[in-house]
């Protein structure tokens, strides 16, 4: 009986040792970075292989087998031949894994197969949490109504926010920072801060701000800082800072008026003086004026004049020397092509017609208009010629 008890005890001891050896290796993840894993990025995974038994574990091999959304690059290998791990000792292994850019948010898994000695392969599943990166809330579009903000007018600044995460986002707060004194905007009938309670995955929501542009605002592009804060489905909070561009300006208002003319009737030549007027709120830049061709007159000087900059509510003058061909018309049209840019570098080309009124000789006398300077010169030359002829004949006859 005593021998039987000793045999049974030895049998239990053998089974216990065998059991210990079969469970001698412990596999666990010490950490992975970044945490949480992000789609489209690499993931570093550290595994701890520990021999929890007393005897050495020989021929230890590890095989990490990533499945979607995880994968290895071509130069990476998931197999490790460790060899022997003494009892109570551990080995740390590092693997570099790629996370697919289309990975969905949530728990994903890596399978680790391991074996030692003559035992069969065992598999352990490792949990990896994937969370889409911090651009999950995207400013899909921002625009203004009207497209160009007019000084002194009320406009809308509109944001379209898209939830690109795989789950809802909540407590979305968007704030315009208009505190900088260089920004000519102020909120009107609203605040500079708006809130959306929830945006479902894949949905787009609009937020509108009403602003008024200062009446003395200069044309140009203004940068407005924007702060967006929100929470994801796990309760993690995010804050994003961005900048949007807003264009201020107005459609240029430009004209040309006749100021003075030495030409009073057809068949005369002289200088025509014109006033160039910027009657709009927008400054003009690189202003060019060209007198176009016509069958009614001939250009006696250059047909292009470069003015350059012409500020809002400012004027300049240009002059052209012309010969007006004989005609019975009461007016000759002077066609001009005007080319310029506004402060936002938008180019404009306009055609403007200016009427040059013509008179008959009787109208000139009746209205007391002064004859053309060129006409007076002609008369003067005729008189000088006649006087010269008479003087010449007088002295010739005396000889």
Question: Higher pLDDT residue, 337 or 237?
Answer: 337
Residue 107 domain-assigned (yes or no) = yes
Instruction: Indicate whether 78 and 175 sit together in one domain.
Output: no
Q: What percent of the chain has pLDDT over 70?
A: 87
Residues 6+ away with beta carbon under 8 Å from 300: 269, 321, 322, 323
Residue 164 domain-assigned (yes or no) = yes
Residue 193 domain-assigned (yes or no) = yes
User: What is the number of structural domains in the chain?
Assistant: 3
Q: What percent of the chain has pLDDT over 90?
A: 45
Instruction: Indicate whether 269 and 366 sit together in one domain.
Output: yes
Section 289-308 average pLDDT: 92
Contact 111, 68 (CB under 8 A): no
Instruction: Indicate whether 53 and 150 sit together in one domain.
Output: no
pLDDT beyond 70 at 168: yes
- Specify the residue for token string 């180019």: 347
Per-residue pLDDT tens over the stretch 254-280: 899 999 999 999 999 999 999 999 988
Taking the C-alpha atoms of residue 48 and residue 92, their distance in angstroms, rounded to an integer, is 5
- List the CATH number of the domain containing 36: 2.60.40.10
Taking the C-alpha atoms of residue 380 and residue 364, their distance in angstroms, rounded to an integer, is 19
Range of the domain at 33: 23-130
Residue 395 domain-assigned (yes or no) = no
Instruction: Indicate whether 306 and 369 sit together in one domain.
Output: yes
Instruction: Indicate whether 184 and 268 sit together in one domain.
Output: no
Closest CA to 373 of 271, 303, 282, 288: 271
Domain boundary among 227, 248, 269: 248
Instruction: Indicate whether 320 and 212 sit together in one domain.
Output: no
């Amino acid at each position: 009986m005593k021998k039987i008890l000793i045999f049974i005890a030895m049998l239990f001891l053998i089974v216990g040792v065998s059991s210990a050896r079969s469970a001698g290796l412990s596999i666990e993840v010490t950490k992975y970075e970044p945490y949480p894993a992000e789609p489209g990025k690499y993931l570093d995974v550290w595994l701890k292989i520990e021999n929890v038994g007393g005897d050495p574990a020989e021929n230890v091999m590890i095989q990490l087998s990533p499945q979607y959304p995880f994968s290895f690059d071509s130069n990476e290998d998931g197999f490790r031949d460790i060899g022997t791990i003494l009892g109570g000792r551990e080995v740390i292994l590092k693997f570099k894994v790629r996370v697919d850019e289309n990975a969905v948010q949530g728990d994903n898994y890596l399978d680790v197969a391991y074996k030692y000695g003559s035992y069969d392969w065992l598999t352990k599943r490792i949990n990896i949490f994937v969370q889409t990166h911090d651009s999950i809330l995207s400013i899909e579009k921002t625009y203004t109504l009207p497209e160009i903000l007019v000084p002194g007018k009320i406009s809308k600044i509109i944001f379209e926010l898209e939830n690109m995460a795989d789950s809802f986002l909540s407590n979305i707060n968007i704030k315009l920072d208009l505190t900088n004194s260089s920004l000519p905007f102020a909120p009107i009938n609203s605040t500079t801060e708006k809130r959306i309670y929830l945006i479902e995955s894949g949905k787009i929501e609009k937020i509108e701000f009403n602003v008024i542009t200062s009446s003395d605002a200069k044309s140009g592009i203004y940068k407005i800082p924007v702060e967006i804060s929100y929470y994801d489905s796990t309760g993690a909070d995010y804050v994003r800072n961005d900048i949007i561009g807003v264009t201020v300006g107005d459609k240029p208002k430009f004209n040309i008026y006749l100021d003075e003319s030495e030409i009073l009737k057809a068949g005369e030549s002289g200088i025509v003086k014109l006033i160039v007027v910027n009657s709009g709120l927008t400054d003009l830049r690189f202003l060019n004026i060209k007198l176009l061709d016509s069958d009614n007159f001939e250009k006696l000087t250059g047909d292009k004049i470069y003015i350059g900059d012409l500020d809002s509510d400012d004027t300049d003058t240009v002059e052209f020397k012309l010969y007006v061909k004989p005609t019975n018309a009461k007016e000759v049209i002077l066609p001009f092509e005007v080319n310029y840019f506004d402060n936002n570098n938008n180019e404009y080309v306009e055609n403007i017609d200016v009427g040059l009124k013509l008179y008959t000789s009787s109208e000139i006398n009746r209205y007391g208009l002064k004859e053309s300077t060129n006409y007076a010169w002609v008369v003067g030359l005729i008189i000088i010629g006649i006087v010269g002829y008479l003087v010449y004949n007088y002295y010739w006859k005396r000889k």
